Copies of this chain bind each other. A is one copy, B any other.
Amino acid sequence: MHGHQTISSGELAAQGGTTSAQVRKDLSFFGSFGKRGLGYSVSALSSSLREILGLGRQWNVVIVGAGKIGAALAQYEGFRDRGFKVVGVYDEDPARVGGTLDGVVVRDQRELESDIMKLKPHIALIAVPAEAAQTLVDRVVKAGVRAILNFAPTPLTVPEKVTLRSVNMALELEILSYALVNAGE
């Protein structure tokens, strides 16, 4: 981005929308990468972080639900760029099964367990209606998936060994709504 060989915590903070102290504290959690008086070597820091975050390797991902959100996820370049490969898309609706999303064939949700055993995906993205989400999470967890990113607007429970994160777009809009109502106060 810049021609710099090296970058200071302050510059990183400006780029990331945070503070220099925050950046240094965060990085110090993993170790000490910088040189005092100079800053951080861009290339060394970048590869250390890739290593630490596990972005060097390829992660296989299955998408459960081929509706609007599932389709958008399947086609999202941001994932591929970071080493996340969509190895399967699943849906319940016969009308969708057999179609393709960005080169991946939509398979029947009944194949989920057997496919997971075979493909051993690391991550499952849940993009189904709220009512169906917990059931499908239980199924993918039982089949061996250990990391889940949930897009259904409902809280889910998983065993302790499984990592779950949720993205709730409707909630984000409600927060904006609240901010608008209370704007002038």
Binding site for B on A (CB under 8 A): 15-17, 52-55, 59, 61, 68-69, 71-73, 75-76, 78-79, 81-82, 84, 122-123, 146-149, 153, 155-157, 161, 163, 165, 167, 169-170, 172-181, 183
Contact = CB atoms under 8 A, between A and B. Distances in A.
Nearest to A151: B169
A72 B54 CA distance: 29
A156 B167 CA distance: 19
A78 B169 CA distance: 8
14 contacts: A16-B155, A17-B156, A53-B178, A54-B180, A71-B72, A72-B72, A78-B153, A78-B169, A79-B170, A147-B179, A149-B172, A163-B180, A165-B172, A167-B172
Given A15-B155, A17-B155, A173-B82, A68 B59 contact: no
B59 A180 contact: yes
Nearest to A102: B68
Given A79-B170, A79-B173, A84-B173, A181 B54 contact: yes
A173 B81 CA distance: 12
A46 B73 CA distance: 33
Contacts of A79: 169-170, 173
Given A55-B174, A167-B172, 10 more contacts: A59-B180, A68-B76, A69-B72, A69-B76, A71-B72, A72-B72, A147-B179, A149-B169, A165-B172, A165-B176
Given A149-B173, A165-B172, A180 B122 contact: yes
Contacts of A165: 172, 175-176
